[in-house]
Each structure stands twice: as structure tokens, then as C-alpha cells.
Structure 1
Amino acid sequence: MLPWIHLATATAPQGDTLRLLRRGEEFSIRLGDGNELMSSRLSGSEEALASFAFERLAGRPAPHILIGGLGMGFTLRAAQAIAPPDARLIVSEIVPELVDWASRHMGSVFGDCLSDPRVEIQLGDVGQEIRAASDTYDAILLDVDNGPDGLTREGNDALYGKAGLRAAHRALTPGGVLAVWSAAPDRKFSERLSLSGFEVDAKTVRAGRTKRGARHTIWTAIRAGA
């Protein structure tokens, strides 16, 4: 078996070390302790995050979409494949090096997706972007950390707690969609979504594009009311 080759290291704002590794054509981003955050061979659930959200938008013209976390671009590319030409796809990424890695090391994964005129990369905390917005986004897609119950960065709890969900509700347009990826199911998170004014649907999907791999959870929550 081919060995893993270390390509680059980055430090997240709260001090976490991220490492980019490559083995043949496969890439892996891991925490300093070795915990794998994402792999280029497992993209099915991240792609489902975008497809489930767009299904709920029902052909809304010129949708304004906020994507929390660039990662390896799976959610972004799935959104690009579905979104109309007049869509705006804002990607909020808190670790600047990940954007550099996309072109410097992972060109075979990203292709030319970041040169799409519909795409804008915003460096910063997606939580701050959400809290600053009001009736702005038709959909917010969150693939941040390992989900509501699998946090590796303590600050991400503000996204998934009651205050964070109320902020997401305000940031969405009426009927807008909050889609959330998680490594595991979380009944309490479903309850918090409902209490925050969302109509909630949770689905379990495979990590890969086939029926193999771990099962992940995707919530699609609709902002109820005007």
C-alpha cells in the first residue's frame, strides 16, 4: 500500500492543527491528533447536503446561498451543478490555507470550480456572517466540524445552539432552507430546530456515493412563517 505523504499544515483560529495528506490520488485532511475530518474518496453525504437543500428551494430564481466550510469543495460543486446561472454561491471559510490548498495541492479534486463567476469566497467565521444577516439567504448549508454533537472546535457550538439557530432563522428568507451535515444523528438537535421555528426533516445517507461507507445525517429545515 502507498504511504501517506504530508503536503501542508495549517493552524485554525483557535489553535487546532490541520494537516493535508496525500496517498496516490486520495487526499485527507486531519487534525493534529490524527482524527480525519474529510477524505477525497468520500463525498456522497456532502453532495447530498446541497441536493437536499435545492430540492426544497423549488426552482426559486436567483437563489442566494451561503455555504459554511469549503472543505474539499464537494458541497460547493454539487451546488454548482444544480444552481441556475444567476445564483450567488458564497463560501465562508475560516482557515485561509484551505483555499490555497484547493489550487496548490488539490487541483485534481477542485478543477476550476473556484473560478465560477457565481462563487465568492469569504474568509471568516460563518457564524458571524449568519448573525450579521437578515432575510438575506435562500439557503444556508453548514458542513462545519463533525456536526451538532461532534464538535472539535468549541466555538462551533454557537452555530448549533438555540442562539445560533435563531440567528440562522433570521438570516434566511421566508421559506428558506437551513441544511446541516452531521457525522451522527442527534435527536436533541432536531428538537432545537423545531423550537427555533423550522419545519424539520432529517435523512440518513451514506458517506460515499455507493451503498458503502459510514452513515451520516442531513437535516433540511425550512424557515416557517413570513
Structure 2
Amino acid sequence: MKRFVLIDTAEIPDGGGALCLFEYGDDFVIKIQGGNGNQLMNTRTHGSEDALAEIPCRKIAHRPQPRVLIGGLGMGFTLASALRHLGKDAEVQVAELVPGVIDWNRGPLGEKSGMPINDPRTRVLRKDVAEVLKSEPQGYDAIMLDVDNGPEGLTRKSNSWLYSSTGLDACARALRPKGLLAVWSASADQAFSQRLARSGFIAEEVQVFAHGNRGTRHTIWIAEKRS
């Protein structure tokens, strides 16, 4: 019988608790320490994480030297998907606040996702993605956010800023003209769709299966900067 085996624990900065990495049979699972036992992510069901990068990267891959930012490294599947759908002249930055998550992706998690962290086009920033956004005006062709469970901060309450009108305005400023913002969420959120529109985005809401073509559906917003 398969059981959860704790492999490592990673502290979330600024008193945000900790993330726990478990081995579960042939897969790995990340949970919040002391949480309700629900999985934040696992290496078996990552279809929506793949789509978070595939959809916008296909749209901007033709641009010269495309530059993209991923907020949240997770298990590396969004990064791997971005690299698959961009050319050799692309730069993919990943902002990850939790040092332990970066270490896990250099080890067991990286083996599951194909070690995208070692790709020469990858640049890992050990920073809060909010800090990166504020420092890069018109710096990116696409931004992909998967730093929490969606518009409501779950693992770190300060993540809620990213999904606020102020945070979305910062995303718009960090995008080049006609740049794309892709946002992952465990569920739909009408209020968030309205905030995207107020921040100058033309957005569509896409429902994506977590694994293959069955099971749980997740929501991805694909939002284009109007100018």
C-alpha cells in the first residue's frame, strides 16, 4: 500500500509557515505544514500547469527574443512547458521565494519535469515575483502567475496583492505592448475577471483538466494588455 513519506520541509519566508515535500509511491506531493492535508500540487496531475505556459507561449513564440516571467516555480512543469513552446532565443525567468522549492527542483522534482531549471534559457530569481514585477517596466512579452491557489492567497496572505487591482496594474506595467498575462486558479472567480478588465486587459477564461481529459478542472485566465 502506498503511503506518504516526508522527504523535506521548506520554510516560507516572512513567517508564512512551511511547505512539506512527500514521496507517494512513484510520485511527489507538496502540502502546507499543519494544513488540512490537501495537496497543493503533485507530479502526477499537472495538465493545467502545462497549459498555463503553453497557451501564452504559443501566442508570443514568433516575437524576436521573447522574454517571459513565471511567478512560482512549483514542481517545474510550467517552466518545462514554456521552454518547450519557445525558441532558442527566448529567456524564461522564474521568481521563486522559497529556497527549498528551488533545491527540490534541482533534485527529485527536476527529474520528474525533465530538469528545466538547467536549461540555458532559464534564469531563476530567488525573489518575490511582486518585487520583480515592480523592477521591470515593459520587460516581458508574457507573465504567468501560479504562486498560490488562485486570487485568494492560501499559502501566503501577502500573495493576495498580486491578484488585487494594484497588483494587476503592476503586471500591466511590466508587460510589453500586447503582452499576455496568464493566471492559474483552482476555481473560477468573477470578481477577478472584472479586476482584469479594469486594469486594462482583454481576458478570456479557460477551463483545463488537471490530468489528461478527465477529473478536476482548473481555471486559467489569458489576458492581453490592450496597448
Q: TM-score, normalised by structure 2?
A: 0.95
Q: What residue number does 1:125 align with?
A: 128
Q: Comparing 56-65 with 155-164, which one deviates more in the overlay? A: 56-65
Residue from 79, 95, 98 that aligns with 2:98: 95
State the AA in 1 paired with 2:104.
Answer: W
User: Residues of 1 paired with 2:82 and 2:168: CA distance?
Assistant: 22
Please state whether the residue corresponding to 1:106 is helix, strand or coil.
helix
Deviations 1:60-91 (A, max 9, x none): 12110000011001100001111110000001
State the AA in 1 paired with 2:219.
Answer: T
Deviations 1:148-194 (A, max 9, x none): 03533110011000000000000000000000000000011010000
Please state whether the residue corresponding to 1:156 is helix, strand or coil.
helix
Q: What residue number does 1:17 align with?
A: 18
State the AA in 2 paired with 1:3.
Answer: R
User: Residues of 1 paired with 2:158 and 2:41: CA distance?
Assistant: 20
Q: What residue number does 2:53 align with?
A: 50
C-alpha contact (below 8 Å) 1:94/1:125 kept by paired residues: yes
Q: What residue number does 2:210 align with?
A: 207
Please state whether the residue corresponding to 1:117 is helix, strand or coil.
coil
Identity %, equivalent residues: 46
Please state whether the residue corresponding to 1:170 is helix, strand or coil.
helix
RMSD: 1.2
Shift of 1:119: 0.3
C-alpha contact (below 8 Å) 1:93/1:125 kept by paired residues: yes
Structure 2 gaps, min length 5: none
C-alpha contact (below 8 Å) 1:149/1:186 kept by paired residues: no
Shift of 1:108: 2.6
Change (3 A) 1:202 1:194: same
User: Residues of 2 paired with 1:191 and 1:58: CA distance?
Assistant: 28
State whether structure 2 residue 169 is matched by structure 1 residue 166.
yes
User: Residues of 2 paired with 1:154 and 1:103: CA distance?
Assistant: 27
Q: What residue number does 1:216 align with?
A: 218
Change (3 A) 1:152 1:100: closer
C-alpha contact (below 8 Å) 1:103/1:110 kept by paired residues: no
Q: What residue number does 2:143 align with?
A: 140
Q: What residue number does 2:83 align with?
A: 80
Q: TM-score, normalised by structure 1?
A: 0.95
Please state whether the residue corresponding to 1:207 is helix, strand or coil.
strand
State whether structure 2 residue 190 is matched by structure 1 residue 196.
no
Q: Comparing 180-189 with 51-60, which one deviates more in the overlay? A: 51-60
User: Residues of 1 paired with 2:92 and 2:216: CA distance?
Assistant: 28
